[in-house]
Amino acid sequence: MNVILIGGGGREHAIAKYIAKNPKVENFYALPGNGGISKFAECVKISAEDIEGIVSFAKNNSIDFAIVAPDDPLALGCVDKLEEIGIKCFGCSQDAAMIESSKIFAKELMTKNNIPTAKYKIFTKIDEALSYVATSDCPIVIKADGLAKGKGVTVAENFKQAREAIMSCMRDKTFGKSGERILIEECLTGHEVTVLAFTDGKTIIPMISSMDHKRAYDGNKGANTGGMGVIAPNPYYTKEIADECMEKIFIPTINALNSENRKFKGCLYFGLMLTKDGAKVIEYNCRFGDPETEAILPLLDGDLFEIMLAVSEERLNEVEVKFKNLCSCCVILASSGYPGNYLTGYEIDFGDVEKMPDVEIFHCGTKREGNKILTSGGRVLAINAVGESLEIAREKSYEAVKQIKFENMRYRSDIGAN
């Protein structure tokens, strides 16, 4: 089959590596791909947001199957456009992607369907938002409604921070249209869990659970990032909690989307908080998480491409999705300054890491120049190691991290430590 993968980060590197194992995948292209993906797929300089470019490439290259991984093309209707020309896809429609592309839509869907989530209010006017936070207790959470490259959420510790977040969204338009409407939410406390699930709109199969580390610095300090590291499985996510989530969150979400004619086919991401009143939804994403995918796919005991085909053909009930009885620890190596401004273009020295057993390197923001691999993004590499326990995985992962060098490299040293 001729296959395209849309995207060019660590998540797509992991997906590329695991689907390339299937002999059905013959001609394999990544749009735009990256330095690491180029080992498995031909990288084509078409941006993941250039939907017309993607569709015409797919047409001209007789593509049979497309995997649309990032949020932006899903929200822009990439899957709808590809399906219109007869290409099977793993990824959801634009209507279903609203579960991520509008946090207000997601909240209203949960409220209508009694899916547990934080209490919230919607604001379209600055003065009303400011007077609401002035009389509310802190911490309080301010969220831009739309997509904001993972930066649209502020957990404000005090009124000053809440005010700044509101001004940044609504007055300064830092996130453009995405911040025209905002949500102000109750701040939940507890352990956070990510559960990714395969679904074809009829069957939902959760993958192994995981724990992201969103803040930039050790001890969960600093700004929210796209994720600085992940462990899987999440030690707080017990079988009992998983059963409760299936009954009260996962199945009701699929039913809610179906009741609105927004059948979801692809990977649905549940960001959960395990509160003292049970699990509650913090957010949905309409795609695989990054870096969750880099920690989870190495634990998959099965064929990712066959699962993706089954999802697209709505026969997920026919396949078995199993995970190894092992743990992952994934550490992100970032450019110093991320999630703010940073410099790129530095050569990466991988040391002997490629020879280390149980260690995988996924490229998040790199480019190939001749024989060299250069940094090209805020998150540069995801280093994942698997082991029989979290401690073993963690040790191997940090041992690999020590081998890798590039200028301005920065990472958290406490992934999976608490």
CB within 8 A of 8, min separation 6: which ones? 30, 31, 32, 33, 34, 37, 43, 48
Binding range to ligand AMP, per CB under 6 A, among 74-82, 185-193, 230-238, 300-308: 185-193
Residue 141 touches ligand AMP, criterion: CB under 6 A:
yes
Residue 224 touches ligand AMP, criterion: CB under 6 A:
yes
- CB of 245 or CB of 374, closer to ligand GLY: 245
Beta partners for residue 361, in sequence order:
383
Q: Half-sphere exposure (CA, 13 Å, Cβ side) for 148?
A: 26
Among 107, 181, 214, 363, binds ligand AMP (CB under 6 A): 214
Residue 292 binds which entry of ligand AMP, ligand GLY, none, CB below 5-8 Å type-dependent: ligand GLY
Count residues binding ligand GLY (CB under 6 A): 8
Q: How far apart are CA 364 and CA 372, in angstroms?
A: 16
Q: How far apart are CA 396 and CA 340, in angstroms?
A: 29
Secondary structure of residue 143 in the 3-state scheme: strand
Residue 188 touches ligand AMP, criterion: CB under 6 A:
yes
Q: How far apart are CA 93 and CA 83, in angstroms?
A: 9
- Positions in 217-236 near ligand GLY (CB under 6 A): 226-227
- Positions in 131-160 near ligand GLY (CB under 6 A): 150
Among 12, 185, 292, 360, binds ligand AMP (CB under 6 A): 185
C-alpha dihedral (56, 39, 212, 341), degrees to nearest 10: -80
Q: How far is CA 103 from CA 45, 199, 206, in A?
A: 31, 21, 22
Residue 91 touches ligand GLY, criterion: CB under 6 A:
no
Among 290, 330, 331, 362, binds ligand GLY (CB under 6 A): 290
Among 4, 282, 310, 382, binds ligand AMP (CB under 6 A): 282
The beta strand positions in 97-251, using DSSP E, are 120-123, 140-144, 153-156, 182-186, 191-199, 204-206, 211-212, 215-217, 221-224, 229-232
Binding range to ligand AMP, per CB under 6 A, among 44-52, 124-132, 182-190, 337-345: 182-190
Q: How far apart are CA 286 and CA 92, in angstroms?
A: 7
Residue 283 touches ligand AMP, criterion: CB under 6 A:
yes
Q: Half-sphere exposure (CA, 13 Å, Cβ side) for 88?
A: 14
- CB of 213 or CB of 367, closer to ligand GLY: 213
Q: Report residue 231 CA to chain centroid gap.
A: 14
- CB of 233 or CB of 271, closer to ligand AMP: 271
Residue 266 touches ligand GLY, criterion: CB under 6 A:
no
- CB of 188 or CB of 299, closer to ligand AMP: 188
Report whether 292 contacts 210 (CB < 8 A): yes
Report whether 167 contacts 126 (CB < 8 A): yes
Q: Give the nearest distance from C-beta 215 to ligand GLY in angstroms.
A: 12
- CB of 150 or CB of 302, closer to ligand GLY: 150
Residue 212 touches ligand GLY, criterion: CB under 6 A:
yes
- Judged by the rule CB under 6 A, the positions of this chain that interact with ligand AMP are 118, 141, 150, 153, 155, 185, 187-188, 192, 214, 224, 271, 282-283
- Judged by the rule CB under 6 A, the positions of this chain that interact with ligand GLY are 150, 212, 226-227, 285, 289-290, 292
